[in-house]
Chains A and B, each alone.
Chain A
Amino acid sequence: DGGITQSPKYLFRKEGQNVTLSCEQNLNHDAMYWYRQDPGQGLRLIYYSQIVNDFQKGDIAEGYSVSREKKESFPLTVTSAQKNPTAFYLCASSMGGDITRVNTEAFFGQGTRLTVV
């Protein structure tokens, strides 16, 4: 089945610890995204990547890092510099591309719920 897989589903982080959230897709999508969602709030963009070995900061990139070494994978590291990391993290992918392109919908993984303990 084609789709986006995020792991783990639940993650607990100790103060001062770095943790990495996994996101893998087999949809052959060029673009991948990471969003953060706090309770009762909308989606805020952390990082996005339109092509392998390239990525851009979103609206709330401080305290996070990413890599895009493979088309299928876009892991997110939550560093100790992120002071309030408890949130629901969502990874998405899309075909991306030119503004006139159709079928550019973004599809989401099931999310990772991160809690600081």
Chain B
Amino acid sequence: QKEVEQNSGPLSVPEGAIASLNCTYSDRVSQSFFWYRQYSGKSPELIMSIYSNGDKEDGRFTAQLNKASQYVSLLIRDSQPSDSATYLCAPFRGYQKVTFGTGTKLQVIP
């Protein structure tokens, strides 16, 4: 089983819709979770961090964490064409490597 699993997509949503991105992870040690956005040819940029079970909202972004189910998600409300990118999930496991999922490609259709 992969350490971090994401649907590679592409996930296509119309402009203004809600995009839902999902991530599952294999170990129960991870306590912190990060979502990164990567535009084509660019380096990843951090968009959300979540440490506790439940929801965390930041503008149009909401991260959801369920440690019992080993599941973390990212919702993007009112999706814009500029949101079209690959979204990477990364759990943090303390004194160990930061492992990334392969990413979900999101396409927002105008």
B29 near A109 with CB under 8 A, answer: no
Whether A110 contacts B97 by the Cβ 8 Å rule is no
Instruction: Indicate which residue in A42, A101, A105 contacts B101 across the interface (CB closer than 8 Å).
Output: A42
Bitwise interface map of B from 73 to 110 toward A, beta carbon under 8 Å scored 1, else 0: 00000000000000010101111011111110000000
Complex CA distance for A106 and B92, rounded to whole angstroms: 9
Contact across chains for A96 and B95 when beta carbons are under 8 A apart:
yes
Q: B46 at the A/B interface (Cβ < 8 Å)?
A: yes
Asked if A25 is at the interface of the complex by the 8 Å CB criterion, the answer is no
* Candidates B42, B43, B51, B97; contact of A45 at CB < 8 Å: B97
Q: Are B43 and A98 in contact (CB under 8 A)?
A: no
- CB 8 Å contact bits of B33-64 with A (1 = contact, 0 = none): 01000000111111001010000000000000
Contact of A92 among B31, B49, B98 (CB under 8 A): B98
B66 interface contact, C-beta 8 A: no
A11 within 8 A of B: no
Report, as a range, how many residues of chain B touch the other chain: 20 to 34
B32 at the interface (CB under 8 A from A): yes
Q: Are A101 and B88 in contact (CB under 8 A)?
A: no
Report the Cα distance A31→B34, complex, angstroms.
16
Instruction: Answer yes or no: A99 CB below 8 A from chain B CBs.
Output: yes
> What is the CB-to-nearest-CB distance from A95 to chain B, in angstroms, rounded to a whole number?
10
22 contacts between A and B (CB under 8 A): A33-B97, A41-B102, A42-B100, A45-B97, A45-B98, A48-B97, A58-B97, A99-B31, A99-B93, A100-B94, A101-B32, A101-B94, A102-B51, A103-B49, A104-B32, A104-B92, A105-B46, A105-B49, A106-B90, A108-B43, A108-B44, A110-B43
